[in-house]
Amino acid sequence: MSESSTTGDTLLSGDASVTATVVREELLRDYPAKTKKKREKQIVINDKQRGEDGSLHLPVVAANTRTVPGIITQRGCCYAGCKGVILGPTRDIVNIVHGPIGCSFYSWLTRRNQTHTPTDEHDNFMTYCFSTDMTEENIIFGGEKRLRQAIQEAYDLFHPKAIAVFSTCPVGLIGDDVHQVSAEMKKQLGINVFAFSCEGYKGVSQSAGHHIANNQIFKHVIGEDDTERSQWSINLLGEYNIGGDAFVIEDLLERCGIELVSTFSGNSTYDQFANAHMARLNAVMCHRSINYVADMIEKKYGTPWIKVNFIGANATAKSLRKIAEYFDDRKLTENVERVIGEEFPAVVEAQRKYRPRCAGKRAVLFVGGSRAHHYQELFSELGMETIAAGYEFAHRDDYEGRQVLPTIKIDADSRNIEELRVDADQEKFRESDRQKGLKREEQGYTFREYDGMMAEMKDQTLIIDDISHSEAERLIKMVRPDVFCAGIKEKYSVQKMGVPCKQLHSYDYGGPYAGFTGAINFYEEIDRMVNARIWSRVQPPWENGSPGTESSSPSPTSLEEMEELEESTNS
C-alpha cells in the first residue's frame, strides 16, 4: 500500500495537474529511444510501499551507471573525486598531478576547503598547484622519467612529509607505472610517496575516485602511527570543511569532550590519517565518499562505525547524542546535553524569525552523494518541502538504504575499481572495541546503518539521478521551485529562469552550514534567496505582468503619510 494518504500523487506545485507522473513524462519526452530507456530507470517516483510487516519498499534507482553521452551532465571525473574531493583538503601532502596541465589547474583551490595550521611554520600546500605538465614527447615516449624528476624537485623545494601522485587520463593510456615510480622515490627520499590510478575515465563519475582514494590512503597511510587515543575518541569521516563546516564540528566535539583523532579530510593532516586506526569509533558524514575507509578500518582494526549527520540542528543534536550513547558514559552524556542546551536557544530564535518567511516554499536538490539528502533537514527545519531530489554520483544504497547492498549488481564500470581484501591485523586489531560494538548492538544500538534519501522523502516525490540540463530546465518550468540546489554549472542557467540557485558544493562562497551555528547561517541564507526583492523586478515595468508605473495619486512626504494613503486606497 502506498504511504500517501490521499490520491497517491503529491502536488509538485500549486497546479493540481502537475503530478510527479506528469513531470516525469515531460522530462523523458524528447529523448531518442535508447537514451529514454536509460533515463527511465534513473528518473523514479518515490513510490513508498509498506509491506504487511510494516517494512518499507522503495523503487529501484539505476544509480552509479554510465552517463549518456551528450545529455549535458553535472558529473565530473574519477580524478576529480580522488584528488579534488578526498585528498584536496589535506594540507601537508604535496599532491603532484601527473598529466597535462589542465587537470591540475582546474582543481587548484576551487573547492573551498578551508584549513587551519597552528602556526606559520606548519606545512600548508593547499595554496599550491603541482603538475608534471606533460608534453607531447612524454605522451609518445612515456612520462615516468619526468614524474621521477618532478617528485625530486618537489622534495628539494618543499621537504614535505609525503608526496602523492595522481594519474590523469592520458597517463593511464600510455601506461606509466606511477606506483613503481612512487615506490622507488619513497625509498630514495625516505618519505612516504604513493600514487593513485585515478584516471578520469575510470568508473562513471567522481565516485570511483573516492573509492580509489580510500583504498590508497588505507593502504599507504592509516596504521602508521600507533599513538594511543582516549576512550572517547572518534574519526569524522566524509567531512571536507567546505566553508568552515569542519571547524564548527571540531568545536562542538571539543566542548563535549570528544577527542577527534582525524577528519577525512577537512582540515586534516597526514599524521591524523596515520593515527586514525587508534580512534574508538568512526562517525561517517558523507556515506558515499568514505564508507570504504570505515568498513576497512573496522575489518582490520575492529573500530565500529556509525552514520552521523551534522547538517541540520536536529540532526546535529541527534548525532552528538548518538556518539555519546555509544560511549555510554554519564559524564559524556551530560557534556553533550549541556552543549546542545547552550546552542539550541539561538537556533530556536532563528527559526522563529525565518520560518514564517520560508515555510511552505519548495526546494529541489541535485547535488553530490550526500548533500541532496542532508540538506533536506535544513529545509524542513524552515518548514520548506523538498519535492524533487537526486544525486550527481551516488549509488543505490544512498537512495534506497544500505539494506540493498547485497542486491547491487557490479557492472563493467565498477568491476575495475579495486576492492581491497582486508583482514584483521594480528597485532593491532582491538578485540575490545569489537566486543563493545557487539554488546551495544545487542542492546539495540545501530551501526553501519544508512537508510538513504528516499525513506526520508515524502511519498510520490520525484527522484532524478544524474539530472541532465534539459531535465532540470523542464522541471523548473513545470514546478517553479522556490530554490534550486545544485553546483556552479547549473547555477546561472537556473537563475536566468528566475529561480534562485544555491550551490551546495561551494556554498556560494558562504557557510559554514554545519552544526547549530551553521544551521542558523543557512536559514538566513535561504531567507535571503527566496525573499530577495530582485526576483520580482525582473520584468521591466513596460512589459506585461509588471507592477506598472507609479500612479499619479498625491505624493506623500513621509513613510507614515504614505502608509495612511495606501490604507485609504486599499479600503
Partner 1 sequence: MTLLRHTRGGEITERQALTINPAKTCQPIGAMYAALGIHRCLPHSHGSQGCCSYHRSTLSRHYKEPVMAATSSFTEGSSVFGGQANLLQAIDNIFTVYQPDVIAVHTTCLSETIGDDIPQISEKASEKGLIPDGKCVIHASTPSYVGAAPTGFANMTAGMVKYFSKSTSPTKVADRVNVIPGWVEPADMREIKRIVAAMGLESIVFPDTSDVLDCPQTGMHEMFPKGGVTVEQLRATGDSAATIALGPICSDAAAVELTNKCGVPHTTLPLPIGLEATDRFILALREYNGGLVPQEITDERGRLIDLITDMHQYFYNKTAALWGDPDQLVSLSELLLTVDILPKYVVTGTPGKKFLRRMGEVLQERKSEVQVRQGTGADLFLMHQWIKNEKVDLLIGNTYGKYISRDEGIPLVRHGFPILDRVGHQFFPTVGYRGAIRLLEQILEALMQRQDDQCSEERFELTM
CA 278 to each of CA 34, 59, 227, 303, 481: distance values in angstroms, whole numbers, following the listed order: 50, 40, 7, 8, 46
* Helix, strand, coil % in the chain, rounded to nearest 5: 45, 15, 40
Considering only the stretches 162-170, 183-191, 234-242, 274-282, report the one whose residues sit in contact with partner 1 under the rule CB under 8 A: 162-170
List the beta bridge partners of residue 96: 130, 165
Quickly list DSSP for 496-511: HTT--EEETTTGGG--
Which CB sits closer to partner 1, 127 or 549? 127
Binders of partner 1 in range 450-469 (CB under 8 A): 468-469
- Using an 8 Å Cβ cutoff, are 326 and 440 in contact? yes
Site for partner 1 in 201-230 (CB under 8 A): 201-205
**101 belongs to the binding site for partner 1 (CB under 8 A):** yes
H helical segments located in 362-403: 371-381, 396-400
Q: Which of residues 154-213 bind ligand SF4 (CB under 6 A)?
A: 168-169, 199-200
65 binds, among ligand SF4, partner 1, none (CB under 5 to 8 A by kind): none
Binding partner selected for residue 149 from ligand SF4, partner 1, none, CB under the kind-specific 5 to 8 Å limit: partner 1
Do the Cβ atoms of 373 and 311 come closer than 8 Å? no
- Nearer to partner 1 (CB atom), residue 166 or residue 354: 166
d(CA 395, CA 228): 35
241 binds partner 1 (CB under 8 A): no
> Segment contacting partner 1 (CB under 8 A): 164-172, 188-196, 362-370, 443-451?
164-172
Annotation says 111 is catalytic:
yes
Query: CB neighbours (10 Å) of residue 564?
Result: 12
Nearest Cα to Cα of residue 368 among 526, 213, 503: 503
Rounded to whole angstroms, the Cα distance separating 415 from 400 reads 21
Question: Per rule CB under 6 A, is residue 81 in the interface with ligand SF4?
Answer: no
Contact letters for partner 1, residues 502-541 (x by CB under 8 A): ------------------------------------xx--
Cell 618543499 identifies what position?
158
CA 292 to chain centroid, in Å, comes to: 15
Is residue 445 a contact residue for partner 1 (CB under 8 A)? no
Spatial neighbors of 32 by CB under 8 A, at least 6 apart, are: none
What is the DSSP track for 53-113? TS-EE------S-PPPTTS--S---HHIIIIIIIITTBTTEEEEEESSHHHHHHTSSTT-B
d(CA 431, CA 437): 10
Q: Is 120 in the site for partner 1 (CB under 8 A)?
A: yes
Place of cell 553530490: 368
Residue number, 470 or 531, with CB nearest to partner 1: 470
Give the separation between CA 162 and CA 179, rounded to whole angstroms.
14
**Residue 117 binds to partner 1 (criterion: CB under 8 A):** yes
Q: How far is the CB of 179 from partner 1 (least distance, A)?
A: 18
**Catalytic pick among 39, 210, 280, 287:** 210
Residue 35 site contact among ligand SF4, partner 1, none (CB < 5 to 8 Å, cut-off depends on kind): partner 1
Give the footprint of ligand SF4 on residues 100-159 (CB under 6 A).
100-103
How many chain residues are in contact with ligand SF4, going by CB under 6 A?
12
- 90 - beta bridge partners? 268
Q: Which does 139 bind (CB under 5 to 8 A by kind): ligand SF4, partner 1, none?
A: partner 1
Q: Which stretch binds partner 1 (CB under 8 A): 49-57, 73-81, 265-273, 511-519?
A: 73-81
In angstroms, what is the minimal distance from the CB of 466 to ligand SF4?
A: 16
* Binding span for partner 1 by CB under 8 A among 166-174, 325-333, 342-350, 517-525: 166-174
Q: Which of 20, 63, 76, 291 is the binder for partner 1 (CB under 8 A)? A: 76
- Nearest-angstrom CA–CA distance, 548 and 530: 23
Question: Rounded to the nearest whole angstrom, what is the least distance from the CB of residue 399 to partner 1 in the complex?
Answer: 21
> 532 is in the binding site of which of ligand SF4, partner 1, none (Cβ under 5 to 8 A by kind)?
none
Instruction: Decide: is 496 part of the binding site for partner 1 (CB under 8 A).
Output: yes
Minimum separation from the CB atom of position 169 to partner 1 (A)? 4
Map residue 12 onto helix, strand or coil.
coil
Binds 174: which of ligand SF4, partner 1, none (CB < 5-8 Å by kind) = partner 1
Confirm whether 82 is a catalytic residue.
Answer: no
Of 171-200, binders to partner 1 (CB under 8 A) are 172-174, 199-200
Distance CA 222, CA 293 (A): 10
Pick the closest to residue 371 from 313, 309, 318 (CA basis). Answer: 309
Catalytic residue selected from 77, 82, 154, 279: 77
Region near ligand SF4 per CB under 6 A, out of 96-104, 148-156, 284-292, 352-360:
96-104
Q: Is-catalytic flag, 80? A: yes
Contact between 22 and ligand SF4 (CB under 6 A)?
Answer: no
Among 27, 45, 61, 77, binds ligand SF4 (CB under 6 A): 77
Closest to 388 in 3D by CA, of 5, 26, 55, 6? 26
Selection from partner 1, ligand SF4, none that 141 binds (CB < 5 to 8 A by kind) is none
Active-site option among 78, 80, 82, 154: 80
Q: Catalytic residue at 358?
A: no
Q: Which residues on neighbouring strands pair with residue 236, listed in sequence order? A: 263, 283
Residue 233 to residue 222: CA distance in whole angstroms:
16
Q: Which residue's CB is nearer to ligand SF4, number 169 or number 422? A: 169
User: How far apart, in whole angstroms, are the C-alpha atoms of residue 182 and residue 163?
Assistant: 9
Question: Which residues are at the interface with ligand SF4 (CB under 6 A)?
Answer: 77, 79-80, 99-103, 168-169, 199-200
Catalytic residues, by residue number, are 77, 80, 111, 210
